[in-house]
Amino acid sequence: MTADNYIVQEMPIVGLILQSLCTIPTEGGPVLRMLRPDTPLLPDFSQGFGELYFSEVLPGKVKAWKRHRRQTQLFAVPCGLLELVFFDNRPGSATDQVLFHTLLGRPEHYALLRIPPMVWYGFRARGDQPALICNFADMPHDPAECERLPADSPAIPWLWKEQR
Amino acid sequence: MTADNYIVQEMPIVGLILQSLCTIPTEGGPVLRMLRPDTPLLPDFSQGFGELYFSEVLPGKVKAWKRHRRQTQLFAVPCGLLELVFFDNRPGSATDQVLFHTLLGRPEHYALLRIPPMVWYGFRARGDQPALICNFADMPHDPAECERLPADSPAIPWLWKEQR
């Protein structure tokens, strides 16, 4: 086993962290790394993990807005292209009121994104393929710790456009 | 959090076990469960996990044959349709010389498959879409514990056909 040289980048919202991921070409199709226990993103997962699941986003569709009170999530997008928007309104956060827009997907945006609790997020599939999110979370899904706002909520300064 | 009622099925090779997985329809695209720590397949993962990665198989392409000396793998296929073949030649195994063929993919074959060490396996993407395997393994990838045979090896009584 060779150690990875992880490249970790702080995003413009405190606690939102991006880690590089390798894609390894092989005969028949590539291997895409997602997670090893030595990732620098892992402090939240030191006691084990909560749940691993996928969320598929159909072309042009929006899933927004949502935040978790306690759950930390690690997202990778192995299929399709996903547009993500984050909004921080955590009282006392150094990045309170910051809105951040990014992409996840192959080839140029294949990476692992850590989403901290209490940050609002939403996403939309770009292009004509569904986008597949693989989510590795530190707690099992629990609707009781999940908050939602409608995609067109005036509380978040972003206008989603559904497209087909 | 509600407990799942897992349906677990022993496959015709000892140690090869299939667990049902839920697909939850939601606005914008489905949520696909893969793994929670309470899965009955998890004894190998009680000390943590080794690595989470994807293997994409291009349409018609074959990846075969491979076995791991020590690694146990959990496979789910959230995209595309995958044809898998397993061959047991473990000395003393109750299913020595058994060959088993199955499918993984949505909608009707969306499930979690546990592949034990020392069982040969190979796979091929069916249809015109790439198949994506998500592999949750109990050890990080280590080429030193991995054995390979060519896809046309006479040691395994299966004829792979590459197609496009």
Mind listing the pLDDT tens digit for each residue in A102-134? 999 999 999 999 999 999 999 999 999 999 999
Query: Which two structure tokens, joined as six digits, stand for B26?
Result: 């939601």
**Structural domains of chain B, count:** 1
Establish if A54 belongs to a structural domain: yes
Whether the CB-CB separation of B115 and B16 falls below 8 Å is answered with: yes
C-alpha distance across the termini of chain A, in Å: 44
Chain B residues in contact with A29 (beta carbon < 8 A): 55-58, 61, 63, 125, 130
ipTM value, please give it. 0.93
Out of A125, A130, A140, the one facing B36 most closely (by C-beta) is A140
CA distance B113 to B17: 6
User: Is B148 part of a structural domain of the chain?
Assistant: no
The token duo for A48 is 């084990």
DSSP line for A66-91: EEESS--EEEEEEESEEEEEEE---T
What's the pLDDT at B163? 59
Q: How many residues does chain B have?
A: 164
| In a domain? residue A95 | yes
Q: Which of B28, B49, B62 sits opposite A57 (nearest CB)?
A: B28
Q: Which of B23, B38, B35 shows the shortest CA–CA distance to B114?
A: B35
Contact A32 B51 (CB under 8 A): no
Residue B89 forms part of a structural domain: yes
Task: Look up the domain containing B45 and give its range.
Answer: 8-141
d(CA A14, nearest CA chain B) in Å:
26
Cβ–Cβ under 8 Å, residues A105 and A77:
yes
- Paired with A56 in beta bridges are A132
Q: Which helix (H) or strand (E) holds A126?
A: strand A120-126
Sole residue written with tokens 């399709």: A80
Q: Which ranges constitute the DSSP H helices of A105-148?
A: none
What's the CATH code of the domain at B89? 2.60.120.10
Please indicate, yes or no, if residue B59 is contained in any of the structural domains: yes
Tell whether B114 is covered by a domain: yes
Asked if residue B110 is part of any domain, the answer here is yes
| Per-residue pLDDT tens digits of chain B, which is 164 residues long | 344 678 999 999 999 999 999 999 999 999 999 998 888 886 656 567 889 999 999 999 999 999 999 999 999 999 999 999 999 999 999 999 999 999 999 999 999 999 999 999 999 999 999 999 999 998 889 999 999 999 999 999 999 986 54
Q: Is B145 helix (H, G, I), strand (E, B) or coil?
A: helix
Q: Cα–Cα–Cα angle for B136, A30, B52, nearest 5°? A: 15
**In which residue ranges of chain A is pLDDT below 70?**
1-4, 42-47, 162-164
Structure token digits, residue A99: 């809105």
Q: Rounded to the nearest 5°, which phi and psi values hold at B9?
A: -135, 130
Contact B132/A58, CB-based, under 8 Å?
no
Closest CA to B102 of B75, B79, B136: B75
| A155 inside domain | no
Q: What is the pLDDT of residue B31?
A: 97
- Asked if B55's CB is within 8 angstroms of A27's CB, the reply is no
d(CA B103, CA B85): 9
**pLDDT given for residue A1 in this prediction:** 34
Report the residue of B27, B49, B54, B57 to disrupt the A interface, i.e. the one with the largest count of A CBs within 10 Å: B54
Decide: helix, strand or coil at residue A110.
Answer: coil
